[in-house]
Amino acid sequence: ALIKFKKTNNPDDFIILKQLRAKSKYLIKISKKISWKKFTDSINDKVDNQLIWNKIKSLKGLSRNNKIYLVDKNTNKLMSNFEVISNKFGKYFYNNSSDSKFDRDFISFKQHSEKTEVAYRNSTKMLGVIFDRRLSWSPYIKQLKTSTCNSVKNLKILSHTTWGEKTNTLIKIHKTLIQSKLNYGSLLYRTASKSLLNWLDTVNNCGLRLALGAFRSSPVLSIYNLAGEIIHEIKRLESYLIYAARSAKLNNTIHEKNNPLFLEEMRNCNLDISQIIIIEKNVQPPWANAYAINTVLSYNYKDFQEVYTNSSKTNEGVGFSIIFPNIKILHKLPNIRSIFTAEIIAILIATEVIIQEAHSKFIILSDSLSSIKSLQNQFYPCDIVSKIQNNLNKASFLGKEIIIMWIPGHSGISGNEIA
């Protein structure tokens, strides 16, 4: 019809051309609709997701050539020439990244973005903390000093000698308005120069002095002593060490165990990061555990090898002992550890030793009922308990049978008395 209209240029032929064009558009629309209906009806849980996305991209005009052929068609061998291979990759990326593969809106946005000059900034703010280009923390500390100085002015009004608040109330206000701001982000800006950190220490000292009603000539250490507060420098170190310990404990975050500054501070604090117990998730669901934990005495385990655990805490320190028939294990813990921690660590070490032993049946006897009860917690165990449960499952997988049972302490049981 189009060729005929071009030859005759007749109005009747033009009408026929318009009618045929409309009919062809209608037929194309109907065929697309039928094709799309067939495609959607064929989708089930067995259809590959890649086929679906390829269909959608082709309908949007975003079809891509996803195959790179590195086999020579003439010799039917893998290409070894690096120049030919690089040309193949270049052609592939060119065909799939050219402007013809994207719609007009994206192309216009891309062209506009390429012409827009990227703004240069000396600092940026993220989660309330200002990061400058050199990480000197000077802009953030200046902003923090200005903010806390305004809070100090409010505290000065509230600490009036005639109608002011009591000391305990003023200390709480100081912690809320000033110390909360100083502590936020302190493990980041602690690397700033001492002169900048002294600005913040001065603000903190001033707030405590106003809360206590002390003189300006009062020594700084005496102000902290009367307020029952820790020096801010130690607080910054404490928050940083807690962060590093938690990072090492999770074992899935970037921590600074290889940072020389961090290692030096750990040595100065007599801390060993390698002694931190890493969190482990239970490898088996609670209903699949193959070990037994009893809080009731039983005499049905005569063919089991007995393992006794016990711990003690005195003014000299904390320690635990593990008694095997042929092995005695003694270990000392830091003085800050509780008796529960010592008892549960003793059971942990006992399970680790049992896994290496040749005997297949063991019964761990402990007089710590709290430890036994914690081992029965299958859904929200603490870190050490989770490691013990994993060790018990591992031993069961290796063909060993481990029973953990509670016994009364100091009741004449020989193994318990020895431990």
Whether 241 contacts 271, CB under 8 Å: yes
Residue 111 placed within a domain: no
Do 322 and 396 belong to one domain? yes
Whether 273 contacts 242, CB under 8 Å: no
Of 21, 41, 60, the residue that ends a domain is 60
Binned at pLDDT 50, 70 and 90, residue 67 comes out as low
Helix (H) or strand (E) holding 203: helix 194-212
Residue 101 placed within a domain: no
Do 201 and 255 belong to one domain? no
Tokens of 151: 């809070």
Of 19, 35, 60, the residue that ends a domain is 60
Residue 18 placed within a domain: yes
The pLDDT score that the predictor gives to residue 18 is 84
Average pLDDT over residues 212-218: 87
Do 182 and 144 belong to one domain? yes
Binned at pLDDT 50, 70 and 90, residue 253 comes out as low
Encode pLDDT of 32-64 as tens digits: 888 878 877 777 767 777 777 777 666 665 555
Above 60 in pLDDT, residue 135?
Answer: yes
Binned at pLDDT 50, 70 and 90, residue 145 comes out as very high
User: Crossing angle of helices 167-174/138-158, nearest 10°?
Assistant: 160
The pLDDT score that the predictor gives to residue 399 is 86
The pLDDT score that the predictor gives to residue 9 is 78
Encode pLDDT of 400-413 as tens digits: 888 888 888 877 77
Q: Which of 354, 388, 391, 356 is nearest to 371 (CA)?
A: 388
Question: Residue 367 maps to which CATH number?
Answer: 3.30.420.10
Average pLDDT over residues 86-93: 79
Do 391 and 302 belong to one domain? yes
Report the share of the chain in percent with pLDDT over 70.
90
Residue 134 lies in domain: 125-229
State which amino acid sits at residue 75. T
Average pLDDT, the chain: 82
More confident residue, 144 or 46: 144
Do 329 and 361 belong to one domain? yes
Contacts of 186 (CB under 8 A, 6+ apart): 235, 236, 239, 240
Above 80 in pLDDT, residue 86?
Answer: yes
Q: Under DSSP, is residue 32 helix (H, G, I), strand (E, B) or coil? A: helix
Number of domains within the chain: 4
Do 373 and 401 belong to one domain? yes
Phi/psi class of residue 410: alpha, beta or left (left: φ > 0; alpha: ψ in -120 to 50)? left
Do 199 and 255 belong to one domain? no
The pLDDT score that the predictor gives to residue 254 is 56
Residue 102 placed within a domain: no
Do 314 and 220 belong to one domain? no
Residue 192 placed within a domain: yes
Of 229, 251, 266, the residue that ends a domain is 229
Encode pLDDT of 351-386 as tens digits: 989 888 888 888 898 888 888 888 888 888 888 888
Count of CB atoms situated within 10 Å of the CB of 165: 15
Encode pLDDT of 146-161 as tens digits: 999 999 988 888 887 6
Residue 118 placed within a domain: no
Whether 371 contacts 340, CB under 8 Å: yes
Collect contacts of 375-379 with beta carbons under 8 A, ≥24 apart: 375/293, 375/347, 375/404, 376/293, 376/295, 378/282, 378/286, 378/289, 379/286
Tokens of 260: 């020389």
CA distance 403 to 365: 9
Average pLDDT over residues 228-248: 84
Q: Give 328-391 as a DSSP string.
A: EEEEEE-TT--HHHHHHHHHHHHHHHHHHSS-SEEEEEES-HHHHHHHT--SS--HHHHHHHHH
The burial of 392, by beta-carbon neighbours within 10 Å (0-12 exposed, 13-18 middle, 19 or more buried), is given as buried
Count of CB atoms situated within 10 Å of the CB of 196: 17
Calculate the alpha carbon distances from 173 to 2, 150, 168, 218 in Å: 87, 13, 9, 21
Contacts of 279 (CB under 8 A, 6+ apart): 249, 250, 251, 383, 386
The pLDDT score that the predictor gives to residue 144 is 92
Question: Tokens 């009618």 label which residue?
Answer: 19
Residue 113 placed within a domain: no
Above 80 in pLDDT, residue 275?
Answer: no
More confident residue, 322 or 160: 322
Q: Give 262-331 as a DSSP string.
A: HHHHHHHTT--GGGSPPP---SS-GGG---EEESS-----TTSEEEEEEEEEETTEEEEEEE-SS-EEEE
Encode pLDDT of 172-203 as tens digits: 999 999 999 999 988 888 888 889 999 999 99
More confident residue, 252 or 81: 81
CA distance 252 to 191: 24
Do 252 and 220 belong to one domain? no
